Amino acid sequence: MASVAASSPISFAASFLRTKPFPLSPRFLPIRTPRCALSSSSSDPIEFDITFAPPKPTTPSSPRNTNTFQQLFIPWIVRGEDGKLKVQSQPPSHLIHALADATTQNPKKKVKKKKPQATATSASPPASEPKLSKAARRYYNENIKEPPQRLSKVLAAAGVASRRTSEELIFDGKVTVNGSLCTTPQTRVDPTRDVIYVNGNRVPKKLPPKVYFALNKPKGYICSSGEKETKSVISLFDEFMASWDKRNPGTPKPRLFTVGRLDVATTGLIIVTNDGDFAQKLSHPSSSLPKEYITTVAGDVHKRHLMAISEGTVVEGVHCVPDSVELMPKQHDIPRARLRIVVHEGRNHEVRELVKNAGLEVYSLKRVRIGGFRLPSDLGLGKHVELKQSELKAMGWKS
């Protein structure tokens, strides 16, 4: 037991620590229960006990080790509401509330100094294009970039002339590639890298995009350029070509041509494009693409006529047999008989020769279907519509 006299709590704590210093090592802290007394001039000394936490109880099997560390509880000396000092084991309530209501200040963020922008006078090196890996370049070359093509095909795609006319220009020595004269149409060139001149005019590096149209051909138009006084099917696209530069600035105009032919008196569906491979596949007889025609004939049609058409006839030295022949029901506004004939050869004047061989006279002929694509019923004569990918697939084309 010990008694300490002090005039204030601060002097009491100082005198207590001075008389009973604690060792530095916590495991040698003794367990004590001192008695303290406070004295003042106005009142008698106040005595109270300061009790520290007792040591942990030990079991009989384990002997007590006095050297083990024990937790130490420091009492709080506070002044109560009555103005008297007292000892308690918990901190004062106003301190607990103050700690609970305290806000933690966020650390100040470091503000990065902005670099001064380069002025117009200061010379800054130009930004270089990002370098691509070998795998990226290989993927681009194999899947995106078009391989080198035949020179005649490139000239035709660039709109110089038709493929046959382009070959004649090459044979005549009017085409140079990278400054050297080229007289072989099969020469492989890359328009994006090679410098190609035709008659002193350079072929543009950027080729026009592939376009595909379905046209409802009217009567009196031919499917080739022909003579100047003859109306061409391509002239029906003059308005479209005139507005090309507004819709596609910086892109060369496509050179349009028809896929196959319809004679000047035949109307109906014809495909117009600038894709030579697409035209070759659709127009070649080996594609066996069915084509449906509606023909109006003069006079009555009997069974023998249908049998004669079904047996076929010789066209251009080849015996052509239609896929199907059908007599269509009469309509009140159309007095003449109509036949639906489906062929796949695509020979010149094939349908007219079949009808003529059966002893009938063709009054009018209209093509209404190619493959799985049928001429839209609302498409007027001389009008065209751009084909979608699904409609191209219906005709057996995979771009």
Q: pLDDT truncated to tens, each residue of the chain (399 aa)? A: 444 444 444 444 444 444 444 444 444 444 445 555 555 445 555 555 555 555 555 555 545 554 444 555 667 787 877 878 888 777 777 777 777 777 666 666 666 666 655 544 444 455 555 677 878 777 766 666 667 888 988 888 888 888 888 899 999 999 999 989 999 988 999 888 889 999 888 888 888 889 999 999 999 998 876 555 568 899 999 999 999 888 888 888 888 989 888 999 999 999 999 988 888 888 877 778 899 999 999 888 999 999 999 999 998 888 889 999 999 998 888 889 999 999 988 788 899 999 999 999 999 999 999 989 999 999 999 999 999 989 988 887 776
In angstroms, rounded to a whole number, what is the distance separating the alpha carbons of residues 367 and 262? 9
Q: Give the pLDDT score at 28.
A: 43
User: For residue 129, which amino acid is it?
Assistant: E
The model carries a pTM of 0.60
End-to-end CA distance of the chain: 104
CA-to-CA dists, residue 181 to 157, 173, 185, 205, 217, angstroms:
20, 7, 12, 19, 41
Phi and psi angles of residue 157, each rounded to the nearest 5 degrees, phi first: -70, -30
Residue partners of 117: CB distance under 8 A and separation at least 6: none
Q: Give the pLDDT score at 333.
A: 80
The enclosing H or E element of 78 equals strand 76-79
Extract the tokens encoding 317: 């030295």
Instruction: Please answer whether residues 13 and 30 qualify as being in contact, where contact means their C-beta atoms are separated by less than 8 angstroms.
Output: no
Return the SS3 of 287.
Answer: helix
Distance from the Cα of residue 295 to its chain's centroid:
47
Rounded to 5°, angle at Cα 6 from 4 and 7: 160
Which CATH code is given to the segment(s) 209-287+381-399? 3.30.70.580
Write out the catalytic residue numbers: 263
Residue that the structure tokens 């890359």 belong to: 190
Instruction: Please answer whether residues 213 and 272 qualify as being in contact, where contact means their C-beta atoms are separated by less than 8 angstroms.
Output: yes
**CB count in 10 Å sphere of residue 207:** 19
Q: Give the pLDDT score at 99.
A: 75
Which CATH code is given to the segment(s) 146-202? 3.10.290.10
Instruction: Please answer whether residues 323 and 336 qualify as being in contact, where contact means their C-beta atoms are separated by less than 8 angstroms.
Output: no
Q: Give the pLDDT score at 223.
A: 85
In angstroms, rounded to a whole number, what is the distance separating the alpha carbons of residues 163 and 145? 22
In angstroms, rounded to a whole number, what is the distance separating the alpha carbons of residues 190 and 171? 20
In angstroms, rounded to a whole number, what is the distance separating the alpha carbons of residues 157 and 223? 19
In angstroms, rounded to a whole number, what is the distance separating the alpha carbons of residues 56 and 194? 95
Extract the tokens encoding 327: 């007599």
Q: Give the pLDDT score at 171.
A: 92
Extract the tokens encoding 215: 């046209």
- What are the boundaries of each domain within the chain? 5-54+69-92, 146-202, 209-287+381-399, 290-370
Instruction: Please answer whether residues 370 and 394 qualify as being in contact, where contact means their C-beta atoms are separated by less than 8 angstroms.
Output: no
Instruction: Please answer whether residues 393 and 399 qualify as being in contact, where contact means their C-beta atoms are separated by less than 8 angstroms.
Output: no
CATH superfamily for 290-370 is Alpha-L RNA-binding motif (3.30.70.1560)
Q: Give the pLDDT score at 1.
A: 41
Give the residues across from 205 on adjacent strands: none
- The sign of the torsion formed by the CA atoms of 220, 224, 225, 228 equals negative
Distance from the Cα of residue 244 to its chain's centroid:
25
Does the fold of domain 290-370 match that of domain 146-202? no
In angstroms, rounded to a whole number, what is the distance separating the alpha carbons of residues 342 and 324? 5
Q: Give the pLDDT score at 43.
A: 54
In angstroms, rounded to a whole number, what is the distance separating the alpha carbons of residues 36 and 49? 6
CA-to-CA dists, residue 114 to 109, 127, 214, 316, angstroms:
15, 20, 60, 82
Extract the tokens encoding 375: 């001429």
> What's 159's DSSP letter?
T
> What's 141's DSSP letter?
I
Extract the tokens encoding 61: 């099997």
